[in-house]
Structure 1
Amino acid sequence: MMTMTKNVEHALFEITPEIQQLAQLCEDNNAIEKELYTKYEVKRGLRDVNGKGVLAGLTNISDVCAKKIVDGEEVPCAGNLYYRGYNIKELVKGFLEAKHYGFEEISYLLLFGELPTEKQLAAYHETLVERRTLPPNFVRDVIMKAPSRDMMNSLSRSILSLYSYDAKADDTTIPNVLRQCLNLISQFPMLMVYGYHAYNYRLGEDLFIYAPSPELSTAENILMMLREDRKYTKLEAKILDMALVLHMDHGGGNNSTFTTHVVTSSGTDTYSTIVAAMASLKGPKHGGANIKVTQMFEDMKQKLTDWKDEDAVRQYLCDLLDKKAFDQKGLIYGMGHAIYSVSDPRADIFKKFVKQLAKEKGFEEEYALYEMVEHMAPDVIGEKRRIYKGVNANVDFYSGLVYSMLDLPPSLYTPIFAAARIVGWSAHRLEELKNVDKIIRPAYKPLAPHRDYIKMDDR
């Protein structure tokens, strides 16, 4: 096998002048006038100007409500999220009052449609425990080899590799797909944490791989396997568990869940479907947003000499919108949502416990800064931008701070989101397989005029 020369390496990993020239050609010939989207009534992002999504399907799994009918008209209201018809606020209140972890109970609800009895929950927990295992030598042969600096890519490779170990990988009957989904839900924390440790080992750090404990919940196992001393507090585990519950699903139209429906409709296997959903979630406009929030605040804290100076904070937010600060994208990350215009119920629930965790961890000053930005940002955005609906803090705004206080590495922020959302993806995949036997294929209006072929000598 030939080794790559330096020139070949340069061509593979550098943007050469030739690539730059071709890229300009791509840009020139792919530009579409924005006015044409309005002319042909194209809903960019599959949403209208008010953020309302185009109806693409039906679901029983979850519902996102941000409006109510008043005098015959739709008006914005405080947001609500429902899992199988149950308000997320009531579900969280229920398992907190019962003093048990919520991931197992609520994942049962999303997958099977009903809240479990005590006996059903115990049996389901045993099912998950039995599946918290990987094929022989999988850690050595797959996870430890060429670990990626990006954990979402590492996870995707691991999941695709599991396909090779499954004798019924392409069987799309409901019982088999459910088996595969339960396996992946159970295995995901191991794939995530082991992938992280494998990459750090390549960087010269100590390697420790802990098997999950059958006595522990999913959230507890994540913290235990991640930390060298295996220690965590009850509050840490409770808040991580809550984060997993709040991120499990969010209607059928969010980008990664819609991807699940689209890819499932093609008839492909479960492993490929979940990896496609993960590729979607990885994006900074979706699951990667919580990392952006944390990075934005780190930049803000470095730039501000006094975190309590409201004028300085306001100026920084203005600079963000004017593309003068942080990543020059013109965004205040963690503010605004495609659906919610008054409040994000997940953020509201989170916030009640963030302050408690901030006190335990000594993050009171950071929490106060987050609160100031939350209250100030909507006014600043309203002054700078023409907005069609309200702006509020979304779940990513506080989840990044929570993960930071839990001492979770930033490279695992989005994988933890995926460890929760894989439950929703699984439920939606099963729903698509049960109800729809038609490949999803929306229409695009062609704009390029038809042209006659030109022979090479005449070009």
Structure 2
Amino acid sequence: MDYCDIQATNQQLVTMAMQNNTISKDDFKKYNIKHGLRNSNGTGVLVGITGICNVEGYTIEDGVKVPQEGRLYYRGIDIYNIVRHSDRRPGKRLFEETMFLLLFGQLPTACELESFNAMLDEYRNLPAGYTENMILKIPSHDIMNKLQRSILVLYSHDDRPDDLDMENLVLQCIKLIARVPTIISYGFQAKRHYFDHQSLFIHPPQNNLGTAENILYMIRSDNKYTETEAATLDLALVLHADHGGGNNSAFATHVVSSSGTDTYSAISTAVGCLKGPKHGGANIRVREMMLDLNANVDNIEDEAQLRDYLQKLINREAYDRSGLIYGIGHAVYTKSDPRSVVLKDKARELAAEKGKMNLFNLYESVERIGIELLKKAKGEHLDICANVDLYSGLVYQLLDIPQELYTPLFAVARVAGWCAHRIEQVMSDNKIIRPAYVCVSHEKEYIALDNR
């Protein structure tokens, strides 16, 4: 048998992959393809209808995009009207009420909320043997990866995993909503033990505690948390619970659900989307950017030094050289992100309470100077604001929540929204989502192997 004298090296394979999988930007223009399903003016391409959540950051007047203060609505209720009750709830359980609203389309009565909480309590514990076999025996250094795999394994613990009957679908969603906080808490403990060589603590979830309280109870070795901490985390979960049908993970949920697949496949797909640094993983990028800032700026209270560092970010000369200031800018919001507005107020309150106003002032300076420099670089017409990731990471830091849990906490909140979108897709549209692509490759002749 004859062998090739020179075998393709890994670099040659990489070169071929790059050359033959790069679409020319001219082709995108030629065929009028909408990058990222965005129109040329930055607005999103309409691809569906939802009654769950509405995100407003601009209006269209005579075909022109007009920026406005950001608004977020859950089932038609302004998020500002929801969160202003966050400090007035018994047990600080606004998140459970919010999940009920997203899933079932209306605010629960006291009796309905009590029954819903009882169902969550019933299903917070994981199936027998699951913790040992799925989480402790197969730990992961990334909790989002652990969560995605763990959700898929729950399929095997369901007697009717593929049944799309609405009674079964709703039950699957409630079980997932209840179990995701336990999975990420145990996944965190396993990661800390097997990769960081720390003591292992597995605390079972407690009845009559809300989601936020149970998370703090399970991730801390001493189970202790303050009322303020529980209320703050509860508020953060409310703000992250959904963000319209067009956000990357919710849209993926609609796409996958339209194929007729099972709930576990659909929700695990959404987790994979959220993990990405351009989506839910952005809060970790903010945190890492701020650590890099602290390492490279001698005096963080010196505005000139801050300005110099942020300009280097824009010039692709600092941190990951992406040209981005993480935590600033959003696909929809222009003048303000209501979630960021609320979390900024909470961060200021927490920082004052914990004697860390210098930390809050740093983030506020990054917001102010960063927006100013981005406008200077891209034009004063640019309407840009801090997004939820800038202050969510700060809030978690002030709560002493480890960085590796930032994005998993986002998932805990968003699973309610994903489940709502899945139910809506199954109920409303049984046609598989199948958009068109232009193929730019030309017809070629097949060449026999001996002639290549």
Question: For the Cα contact (< 8 Å) 1:249–1:424, is it kept in 2?
Answer: yes
The one-letter code of the counterpart of 1:425 is W
Q: Distance in 1 between matches of 2:120 and 2:246?
A: 28
Q: CA deviation at 1:442?
A: 0.7
Distance 1:415 1:89, change over 3 A: same
Aligned ranges 1:189-228 → 2 under 5 Å? 189-203=181-195, 204-228=197-221
Q: Distance in 2 between matches of 1:319 and 1:69?
A: 34
The one-letter code of the counterpart of 2:438 is K
The one-letter code of the counterpart of 1:32 is I
Aligned position for 2:34: 43
Question: For the Cα contact (< 8 Å) 2:97–2:108, is it kept in 1?
Answer: yes
Aligned ranges 1:292-303 → 2 under 5 Å? 292-303=285-296
Aligned position for 1:96: 87
Q: Distance in 2 between matches of 1:329 and 1:335?
A: 13
The one-letter code of the counterpart of 2:34 is K
Q: CA deviation at 1:387?
A: 8.2
Q: Distance in 2 between matches of 1:221 and 1:374?
A: 32
Q: Distance in 1 between matches of 2:35 and 2:439?
A: 15
Aligned position for 1:18: 9
Aligned position for 2:327: 334
Aligned position for 1:274: 267
Among 57, 67, 70, which residue is 2:58 paired with? 67
Among 429, 449, 452, which residue is 1:456 paired with? 449
Q: Equivalent residue of 1:30, what SS?
A: coil
Aligned position for 1:393: 386
Q: CA deviation at 1:98?
A: 4.0
Q: Distance in 2 between matches of 1:318 and 1:152?
A: 32
Among 231, 238, 257, which residue is 1:238 paired with? 231
Gaps (5+ residues) in structure 2?
1-6
Q: Equivalent residue of 1:94, what SS?
A: coil
Aligned position for 2:251: 258
The one-letter code of the counterpart of 1:413 is Y
The CA deviation string for residues 27-86 of structure 1, in whole angstroms up to 9 with x for no partner, is: 111222212212211100001122211111100000001124668965211000000000
Distance 1:452 1:386, change over 3 A: farther
Q: Equivalent residue of 2:97, what SS?
A: helix
Aligned position for 1:410: 403
Instruction: Please tell me whether residue 290 in structure 1 is matched to residue 311 in structure 2.
Output: no
Q: Equivalent residue of 1:177, what SS?
A: helix
Instruction: Please tell me whether residue 363 in structure 1 is matched to residue 356 in structure 2.
Output: yes
Distance 1:341 1:17, change over 3 A: farther
Distance 1:72 1:272, change over 3 A: closer
Question: For the Cα contact (< 8 Å) 1:80–1:88, is it kept in 2?
Answer: yes
Question: For the Cα contact (< 8 Å) 2:41–2:65, is it kept in 1?
Answer: no
Query: Scaled by the length of structure 2, what TM-score is found?
Result: 0.95
The CA deviation string for residues 206-231 of structure 1, in whole angstroms up to 9 with x for no partner, is: 11111111121110110011111111
Question: For the Cα contact (< 8 Å) 1:357–1:405, is it kept in 2?
Answer: yes
Question: For the Cα contact (< 8 Å) 2:375–2:381, is it kept in 1?
Answer: no
Distance 1:55 1:68, change over 3 A: closer
The CA deviation string for residues 129-171 of structure 1, in whole angstroms up to 9 with x for no partner, is: 1111111121111111120000011111111111111110111
Q: Distance in 2 between matches of 1:159 and 1:175?
A: 20
Instruction: Please tell me whether residue 52 in structure 1 is matched to residue 43 in structure 2.
Output: yes
Q: Distance in 1 between matches of 2:157 and 2:88?
A: 41
- The worse-fitting range, judged by mean Cα deviation, of 360-369 and 378-387 is 378-387
Q: Distance in 2 between matches of 1:374 and 1:307?
A: 14
Instruction: Please tell me whether residue 154 in structure 1 is matched to residue 146 in structure 2.
Output: yes
Q: Distance in 1 between matches of 2:9 and 2:80?
A: 55
Please give the root-mean-square deviation of Cα atoms over the aligned residues, in Å. 1.6
Q: Equivalent residue of 1:81, what SS?
A: strand
Question: For the Cα contact (< 8 Å) 1:244–1:419, is it kept in 2?
Answer: yes
Gaps (5+ residues) in structure 1?
1-15
The CA deviation string for residues 368-421 of structure 1, in whole angstroms up to 9 with x for no partner, is: 010011111112112223587411100001011111111111111111000000
Q: Distance in 1 between matches of 2:245 and 2:322?
A: 28
Q: Distance in 1 between matches of 2:111 and 2:433?
A: 39
Question: For the Cα contact (< 8 Å) 2:58–2:332, is it kept in 1?
Answer: no
Identical-residue share of aligned pairs (%): 48
Question: For the Cα contact (< 8 Å) 1:131–1:186, is it kept in 2?
Answer: yes
Q: Distance in 1 between matches of 2:405 and 2:275?
A: 11
Q: CA deviation at 1:437?
A: 0.8
Q: Distance in 2 between matches of 1:199 and 1:309?
A: 38
Q: Equivalent residue of 1:365, what SS?
A: helix
Q: Distance in 1 between matches of 2:28 and 2:79?
A: 37
The one-letter code of the counterpart of 1:36 is D
